[in-house]
A and B are shown apart, each in its own frame.
Chain A
Amino acid sequence: MDAADLDVSLEPLHYKRLEQLRILNAAVLPVRFPNSFYDDCVKSSSDSTVLAHLDDLLVGAVATRVEKASKSEGEGEQGARLYIGSVCVLAPYRNRGIGGKLIAKCLAAAEAWGDENIKDAYLHVQTSNEEAVKFYEKYGFVKQRVIENYYKRIDPPHAVLMVRPFVYPPSTPSIQV
């Protein structure tokens, strides 16, 4: 039985309510992010970090940060990237379309910056989580490679690296001299 989509409102992260995001992630994910990750969420990309509220309840969120070129993974690539650290929806509210709305809104927000330095978004998925891989593929992510022993405390410890390039419309002002 597939229930109807829930009507959630999507809002960017407010730094005074950061703790709620932390609680949400702690409740859903088997891994813990360091505090520095959340600090980056606030500092670098608070509007691509999107929270889903059902009435006034926080039920899901996607947490992101912008990584400067030097920080990014991959082989000698230049430019900044958007790292999607977590996409979480509380168990009772899953399969009601919230995750998709979150990821779409997140990507749209990042694209709306129009910052061509940010060339793509990437994320990690546990290799066993095929459902998630399919889910991200729906939103334009492509499997790039498997990183062995990426996770420390969960089994299997390997992760799939998925990447989605940003395509900026030609209308983006690019001044030629």
Chain B
Amino acid sequence: MSDSLLLPPKEAGSFKQIVRCYEMKQYKKGLKTADGILKKFPNHGETLAMKGLIINASSDNLAGGGGGGGAASSLASVEAKKAEAYDLVRLGLKHDLKSHVCWHVYGLLYRSDRNYNQAIKCYLNALRQDPENTNILRDLSMLQIQMRDIKGYAETRQKLFGIRTNSRFNWISFAIGQHLNGNHEMAVEVLNAYHTTLDTSGPNGGPKFSSDLEKYEHGELLLYRAMVLEEGNLFDEALAHLDTCEPLAVDHVGLKEQRARLLLKAGRNAEAEEMYQILVEFQPESHSYHDGLRASMGLPPSTRPDANGGAATSSTPEQIERMTALYAELRDEHPKCSAVQRIPLDFLPVGTQFKTRLLAYVRRRLTRGIPSLFSDLKGLYVHAAKAAVIEALFLEIEESLKKSELFPEASADDMREAPSTLLWTYIYLAQHFDRMNDTPRALAYADAALKHTPTVIDLYLVKAKILKHAGDPVSSALLADMARSMDLADRYLNTICVKKLLRAGHQKQAENTIMLFTRGTGPDDSKHKTAEELSRATQRNLYDMQCSWYEIECGACHERQGELGKALKKYVAVTKHYADITEDQFDFHTYCVRKMTLRSYVEMLRMEDRLHREKAYRRGASGAIRVYVKLHDKKPSGAGGAGVLGAVVRPHARAADIAGRNADGAPLDPDDPNLTPAERKRIKQKLRKAEAKAASKEEKAASKDGTPSTKDDDPDGAQLASTDNPLGEATKIVSMLQQHAPSHVETHLLAFEVYMRSGKAILALQAAKQAVRLSPESPATHRNVCAMFVACERLFAQWDAEKPAEGEKPAVAAARAAQRGTVREVYALERDEMLPKGTGMLDRLEAYNASYLEAHGTLSLAQRSAAGEVLHRMHTPTDWGAAPLTGASRSDSARARGVELMCSADASSSLADRLDALDTLRGVLGTADAHVSSFLSASLQAFPYARCFGGSYELPEEQRPSSTDA
């Protein structure tokens, strides 16, 4: 405050008042006071800065609280005010560079705009002027932890602690800083030292608690210390600490779990086993307790979580025997527990034991009609032998129930099963055969079940799923709509139905359906709102609710229909949700420390660090990247400037999901020649009704003065899509993915697409290498690598042919030559590492392709198709085979072999693989080629219901939703 002393006492007092006004949010009064000072001292820096801060705060108020009408105009005025605020603060700073107040204010301004990195710089400058200012230090530390500058955070908290040791907040934050910075011993010391300052006159050596809350906070503090000890690998100390704090801790379960875990980590297995026995006793359904129990007994963990692509359990016979005995015992103790019955099915090898346990398990669930039985057992299907046993057993059950209403091996005196048991057996078998890719039998069982009891909602969803897998998303959506209509109060059914409608390309109908559950768009609201308003309100509400699944599916639906702007809008919305979630943690840095929920706080920080690895983020991000790439490809050539590299990578063919392929095009178009007359009639009827309804609503709305809803300036994403630099936008998202999701091959495939188009050879090379490392068998990876080598050869040839531009400075030319030299060098290195030796480029590529085919060609059609494509393109003189590539005389027989590979589907080829292969064929040979049509008809034969091959499934009338709704 020394500088403000430059003001005469009266004005200095007024200045203090400004600060007070700002804190009390009395912005008008603050402004008036500031203007008063500025009248006499127009160059007083701190006052100028404060005035800027107040203007900014009042503009935030405007933007946040305003909401209502005229949003567009108020947005502009907010922008103007913000600019004014920045100008004032900068002006103030110019007049008083040495004032910590000015720097602090500048930092606050940046912070309010979420520009944390700039804010940190300002705070550091402020501290240079006033190193012990606790307010600034505190603000700085919050920004540092938010930006995960852990080292800086630890330092700042240490400084703050040095200044004021009598605050609990400072003690704890100091410890957290040390903990997060990896200095566990120091953190424990701090916590211990803090402990000695506490009163210990209460029971069990703790303080006297005046409330339960205080007791809880103290317990959490103690358990936090145990957490730090555990993470510092100080297991014995942690265990000793748990013993002393047990009577004071409130979270008894958490404490027991930690103790068991620590005993295991410390290698004290016998004690760990005892502890886990207690936990299993306490909650026998917890799979993690069971895992711990087995680990402490030297037994392998459960294989439940997806079994890593089916890696067989590598238990020894001795281990299996011990586990069998263990679970027999547990079963006696907990006869009603699911987990103790389900877990043996994972570790038991196929045999009589397995079958007996399986029968006992499914019997109870079929009798009770548990719809999730199939999802429960799905994990077992990674073992083909177990799947076969399941199939045989269920067929046996079906037979037995039909004959005697009894399960196999039941005695004749047993209670007869209710008719619904047979129904659930049918339903299971339908799901089973769907999983085994036996569509005809799956449908036969679904229909048998529908005939038996047509009122089971789950059944319609089961059949919908079968049809989805069979390639008919349209009929699948109809069935889901049928299921939805059977219970209009069920949000889950509504959700499934909406998702399926989007997969089927019916965006509008999907919106009308989800509207039934969004806020302000229900049947009552629809009476006085136009269709347009309702649609906007729905989309707005889904955005506010951060409904990512919808936005991803809706984006994919638009993307398939070529509506890139709308697709982009949805995908970008998803990425924004994740930015918001990151942002939302800010308040918790103070809140959690104050509330003493320290363990949860540290876990939350870690969760936030993993946030952008989540599937929903990745799906939204990759969708946005795909669309940006498409936008780039759509630009008139020349404008793109990607040059040779971009020209070789083929346009990204795969849409978000093949499920909805070919269901796209105009949704519900009555003139679609693929429709049956009955379908056409229904659609026409629906359209007529919808039109009439919309018209009547518009009339009503026109007569009434509707309240203007919050406007979205760019509802269809047109502005988003009109960006001049789609690749630049894509690159930003790509680097997020590279940073947060580097273990997903998709990340590097997308990076490759973007960098190739931006002409960045080295970055594309890196991406291709990462993809090969993660997934050498991936067909897209293989195609990318080959395309890249071809493209680079061409690029270098182009460089060689280039003439120096006239009037160019020699220094510029030299710099460019040096840069290009480096690129070539790196490239040559990688080429020699990745490709087999040989003379010409094409020869080497051919050998590379052949070795890929040999290694992965038996996996599936996808790999053969990729290899075939590479072979064919390489030998086509107008394609990759064009000069300047040397080696391999382009041969017709090699091309023929390429086609053969691309068409080499067999009985095991999946729908997705066939569809991809079809795209590849079309891309290589053109759509009119005879191979394309014969491949298409063969595929239709294999998947007669697949819309993408021209097939469809005709639903019987009674399985269609009646047309009375919406």
Known: A16-B489, A19-B486. A57 touches B416 (CB 8 A): no
Chain A contacts with B in 17-31, Cβ cutoff 8 A: 17, 19-20, 22-24, 26-27
Note all chain A residues with C-beta closer than 8 A to B454: 23-24, 26-27, 90
Identify A23's interface contact among B420, B422, B423, B486, CB under 8 A: B486
Note all chain B residues with C-beta closer than 8 A to A20: 455, 457, 486-487
Is A57 in contact with B962, judged by CB distance below 8 angstroms? no
Report Cα–Cα, A4/B414, bound state, in Å.
Answer: 13
Note all chain B residues with C-beta closer than 8 A to A22: 962
Chain B contacts with A in 471-522, Cβ cutoff 8 A: 485-489
Is A54 in contact with B420, judged by CB distance below 8 angstroms? yes
Q: Is A55 an interface residue (CB 8 A)?
A: yes
Binary A-proximity of B936-960 (CB < 8 A = 1, otherwise 0): 0000000000000000000000100
Question: B458 → chain A, closest Cβ, in Å?
Answer: 9
Q: Is A74 an interface residue (CB 8 A)?
A: no
A contacts, CB < 8 Å to B:
3-4, 6, 14, 16-17, 19-20, 22-24, 26-27, 35, 54-59, 90, 92-93
Known: A57-B453, A57-B456, A59-B455. A16 touches B416 (CB 8 A): no
Is A58 in contact with B455, judged by CB distance below 8 angstroms? yes
17 A-B contact pairs sorted by A residue (CB < 8 Å) = A3-B405, A4-B416, A16-B488, A17-B488, A19-B486, A24-B454, A24-B455, A26-B454, A26-B958, A55-B420, A56-B369, A57-B369, A57-B456, A59-B420, A59-B453, A90-B452, A92-B452
Chain B contacts with A in 871-887, Cβ cutoff 8 A: none
Question: A5 → chain B, closest Cβ, in Å?
Answer: 11
Chain B contacts with A in 397-448, Cβ cutoff 8 A: 405, 416, 418-420, 422-423
Report Cα–Cα, A93/B423, bound state, in Å.
Answer: 11
Q: Is B964 an interface residue (CB 8 A)?
A: yes
Report Cα–Cα, A20/B486, bound state, in Å.
Answer: 5
Known: A90-B453, A92-B453. A57 touches B420 (CB 8 A): yes
Report Cα–Cα, A17/B422, bound state, in Å.
Answer: 24
Is A17 in contact with B487, judged by CB distance below 8 angstroms? yes
Question: A174 → chain B, closest Cβ, in Å?
Answer: 40
Is B452 in contact with A35, judged by CB distance below 8 angstroms? no
Report Cα–Cα, A89/B489, bound state, in Å.
Answer: 24
Grouping DSSP codes into helix (H, G, I), strand (E, B) and loop, the B interface class, with mixed when no group exceeds half, is loop
Most buried by A among B486, B489, B964: B486
Note all chain B residues with C-beta closer than 8 A to A6: 418-419
Question: A11 → chain B, closest Cβ, in Å?
Answer: 13
Note all chain B residues with C-beta closer than 8 A to A16: 487-489
Question: B331 → chain A, closest Cβ, in Å?
Answer: 25
Is A90 in contact with B455, judged by CB distance below 8 angstroms? yes
B contacts, CB < 8 Å to A:
368-369, 405, 416, 418-420, 422-423, 452-457, 485-489, 958, 962, 964
Is A27 in contact with B958, judged by CB distance below 8 angstroms? yes
Report Cα–Cα, A92/B962, bound state, in Å.
Answer: 25
Note all chain B residues with C-beta closer than 8 A to A3: 405, 416
Known: A24-B454, A27-B454, A57-B369. A92 touches B419 (CB 8 A): yes
Report Cα–Cα, A57/B422, bound state, in Å.
Answer: 13
Question: A93 → chain B, closest Cβ, in Å?
Answer: 5
Question: A19 → chain B, closest Cβ, in Å?
Answer: 5
Report Cα–Cα, A170/B456, bound state, in Å.
Answer: 44
Report Cα–Cα, A24/B454, bound state, in Å.
Answer: 7
Having A14-B489, A20-B487, one finds 5 other A-B pairs with CB under 8 Å, namely A17-B487, A27-B455, A55-B420, A58-B455, A93-B419
Note all chain A residues with C-beta closer than 8 A to B369: 55-57
Report Cα–Cα, A90/B422, bound state, in Å.
Answer: 14
Report Cα–Cα, A37/B405, bound state, in Å.
Answer: 37
Question: B659 → chain A, closest Cβ, in Å?
Answer: 26
Identify A19's interface contact among B420, B452, B485, CB under 8 A: B485
Q: Return the chain B residue nearest A53 by Cβ.
A: B455
Note all chain B residues with C-beta closer than 8 A to A4: 416
Q: Return the chain A residue nearest B958 by Cβ.
A: A26
Is A55 in contact with B416, judged by CB distance below 8 angstroms? no
Note all chain B residues with C-beta closer than 8 A to A92: 419, 422-423, 452-453
Report Cα–Cα, A6/B453, bound state, in Å.
Answer: 15
Question: A63 → chain B, closest Cβ, in Å?
Answer: 14
Known: A16-B488, A20-B486, A24-B454. A54 touches B962 (CB 8 A): no
Report Cα–Cα, A93/B422, bound state, in Å.
Answer: 12
Question: B372 → chain A, closest Cβ, in Å?
Answer: 13
Note all chain B residues with C-beta closer than 8 A to A59: 420, 453, 455
Question: B246 → chain A, closest Cβ, in Å?
Answer: 45
Note all chain A residues with C-beta closer than 8 A to B416: 3-4
Report Cα–Cα, A55/B452, bound state, in Å.
Answer: 16
Note all chain A residues with C-beta closer than 8 A to B423: 57, 92
Q: Return the chain B residue nearest A8 by Cβ.
A: B418
Report Cα–Cα, A39/B192, bound state, in Å.
Answer: 72
Note all chain A residues with C-beta closer than 8 A to B418: 6, 54
Report Cα–Cα, A57/B453, bound state, in Å.
Answer: 8
Report Cα–Cα, A92/B368, bound state, in Å.
Answer: 17
Note all chain A residues with C-beta closer than 8 A to B487: 16-17, 19-20
Note all chain A residues with C-beta closer than 8 A to B422: 92
Report Cα–Cα, A44/B933, bound state, in Å.
Answer: 60
Q: Return the chain A residue nearest B405 by Cβ.
A: A3
Report Cα–Cα, A92/B487, bound state, in Å.
Answer: 23
Note all chain A residues with C-beta closer than 8 A to B452: 90, 92
Question: B576 → chain A, closest Cβ, in Å?
Answer: 35
Is B368 in contact with A55, judged by CB distance below 8 angstroms? yes
Report Cα–Cα, A88/B238, bound state, in Å.
Answer: 67
Question: A147 → chain B, closest Cβ, in Å?
Answer: 29
Is B958 in contact with A57, judged by CB distance below 8 angstroms? no
Closest 5 CB pairs of A and B: A92-B419, A58-B455, A16-B488, A16-B489, A19-B485
Question: A57 → chain B, closest Cβ, in Å?
Answer: 6
Question: B445 → chain A, closest Cβ, in Å?
Answer: 15
Report Cα–Cα, A22/B452, bound state, in Å.
Answer: 16
Q: Return the chain B residue nearest A28 by Cβ.
A: B454
Is A57 in contact with B488, judged by CB distance below 8 angstroms? no
Report Cα–Cα, A13/B103, bound state, in Å.
Answer: 69
Is B368 in contact with A57, judged by CB distance below 8 angstroms? no
Q: Return the chain A residue nearest B456 by Cβ.
A: A57
Is A35 in contact with B455, judged by CB distance below 8 angstroms? no
Note all chain B residues with C-beta closer than 8 A to A54: 418, 420
Report Cα–Cα, A26/B455, bound state, in Å.
Answer: 11
Most buried by A among B368, B418, B420, B457: B418
Note all chain B residues with C-beta closer than 8 A to A24: 454-455
Question: A153 → chain B, closest Cβ, in Å?
Answer: 16
Is B455 in contact with A57, judged by CB distance below 8 angstroms? yes
Most buried by B among A14, A16, A23, A58: A23
Question: B910 → chain A, closest Cβ, in Å?
Answer: 34
